Amino acid sequence: MKEILAFDNVRLTYHTRQGEVTALKELTFSLGEGEFAAMIGPSGCGKSTILSLAAGLIKPSAGSVTLGGSIGYMLQRDELFPWRTIEKNLYLPLEVQKKNTPARRARALELAEQYGLSGFLKSYPSQLSGGMRQRAALIRTLVMEPDILLLDEPFSALDYQTRLLVAADVSRIIRSEKKAALLITHDISEAISLADRILVLTARPARLLASHETDFLSSDPLKRREEPRFSGWFETLWKELDP
């Protein structure tokens, strides 16, 4: 499998007037093309920093981050622009990346159609449910045709039931588009139900504690939760996170 994202011995130190904080230290991991990985760790261990590094928004203090493709970032909140219709929101990445061509716009509409958003194109974000909005945010990310999706706790702002459904929804879409994904979450069961590989981080400064390949029969998050090995995985990860 071709590598699409590689962290090699990465250290990141934040400097403020009050002092310096090392968020990551000796972090090494990689992600292959089309692979769906989840990253879990104690809260405040610098998980979001890893995504910022992967996206190239910040530079590592030491070590290297290699990205072999384009990224799409999906955040905790949908971050749809309230003054734009859903359609105009989908075009936002095209406008920013100067790819606002009829062909690209047609592709965006095709994605919207394919994933059940075409009835909402002329609506404003406030007229959509939380789940629908997060789906629109995902389609907006896909419009950029990214090779890898960086998901920063994208379901944590939703209520529990919606959360399970939207997670299943997003997983299905990402898998059918054959994209690689790196999901950051603090929810162990979310990580297990979605990802093929789970990376466990230590407390700050974060290093890689363990990497597990999951062995589920299904790729559907809701079905995975019903498989007997689900609780086994949960227990393993729970123990690793709890020193």
Partner 1 sequence: MKHETISKEHRAFLQKSRKKTGIVNAVRLGLLLLLLGLWELVTALNWADPFLVSSPSRIAKTIASLYREGTLFYHIGITLSETLIGFFAAILSGVLIALLLWWSETLRRILEPYIVVLNALPKIALGPLIIIWCGTGSRAIVFMTILVTVILVILHMLSAFLSADEGKVLLLKSMGANKAHILAKLVIPSSLPAFVSMLKVAVGMSWIGSIMGEYIVSRAGLGYLIVYGGQVFKLDLVMAATVILCFLAALMYFLVALLEKKLVKNKES
The site for partner 1 (CB under 8 A) is made up of 55, 57, 71-73, 75-77, 79, 81-83, 92-93, 95-97, 124-126, 144, 150
Quote the CA–CA distance of 189 and 191 in Å, as a whole number: 5
User: How far apart are CB 156 and partner 1 at their closest, in Å?
Assistant: 13
Min separation Cβ 97 and partner 1, Å: 6
CB-nearer residue toward partner 1: 93 or 221: 93
Q: Which residue reads 């999951």 in tokens? A: 214
User: How far apart are CB 35 and partner 1 at their closest, in Å?
Assistant: 20
**Quick one: 19 or 82, whose CB is closer to partner 1?**
82
Nearer to partner 1, 184 or 241 (CB): 184
Residue 125 C-beta: closest distance to partner 1, Å: 7
Closest CA to 198 of 165, 236, 168: 236
Virtual torsion, Cα 224, 225, 226, 228, nearest 10 deg: 80
Q: How many CB atoms lie within 10 A of CB 131?
A: 19
**Of 43 and 126, CB closest to partner 1:** 126
- Distance CA(56)–CA(220), nearest Å, equals 31
Cα angle value 214/72/234 (rounded, 5°): 20
Shortest reach from residue 57's CB to partner 1, in Å = 6
CA-based nearest residue to 151, from 178, 170, 126, 165: 170
By beta-carbon proximity to partner 1, the closer residue of 144 and 183 is 144
